[in-house]
Amino acid sequence: AMENIVAIMEELIEKIQFLAEDKQIRLSAYFSEDVIEVSIEKHRIVQALYNILINAIHYTNNGGQVQIRIERVMKDRQVEHVRIMIEDNGIGIPDEDLPHIFNRFYRADHSRTRPNGGTGLGLAIAQQNILVHQGWIEVRSKAGEGTTFLIFLPFVAGPAMCSPN
Distance (Å, whole) CA 66 – CA 134:
26
Please say whether the beta carbons of 123 and 130 come within 8 A.
no
**Residue 98 CB, nearest approach to Mg ion (Å):** 15
- Binder of residue 147, out of Mg ion, ligand ATP, none (CB less than 5 to 8 A by kind): ligand ATP
122 binds Mg ion (CB under 5 A): yes
Helix/strand/coil for 46: helix
Distance in angstroms between the alpha carbons of the first and the last residue of the chain: 15
CA angle 158, 121, 153 (to 5 degrees): 25
**Residue 122 CB, nearest approach to Mg ion (Å):** 3
* Residues sharing a CB contact under 8 Å with residue 60, sequence separation 6 or more, in sequence order: 23, 25, 66, 88, 89, 90, 91, 146
90 binds Mg ion (CB under 5 A): no
* Residue number with CB closer to ligand ATP (79 or 118): 118
Which region, judged by CB under 5 A, interacts with Mg ion, from 40-48, 114-122, 128-136, 157-165?
Answer: 114-122
Query: Which residue's Cβ has the minimum distance to Mg ion?
Result: 122
User: What is the x/- site pattern for Mg ion, positions 18-57, by CB under 5 A?
Assistant: -------------------------------------x--
Residues that bind ligand ATP (CB under 6 A): 51, 55-56, 59, 88, 90-93, 101, 106-108, 110-111, 118-124, 147
Cβ atoms within 10 A of the Cβ of 96, count?
Answer: 10
Query: If we measure between CA atoms, which residue out of 84, 85, 80, 86 comes closest to residue 154?
Result: 80
* Residue number with CB closer to ligand ATP (33 or 109): 109
Contacts to Mg ion by CB under 5 A: 55, 118, 122
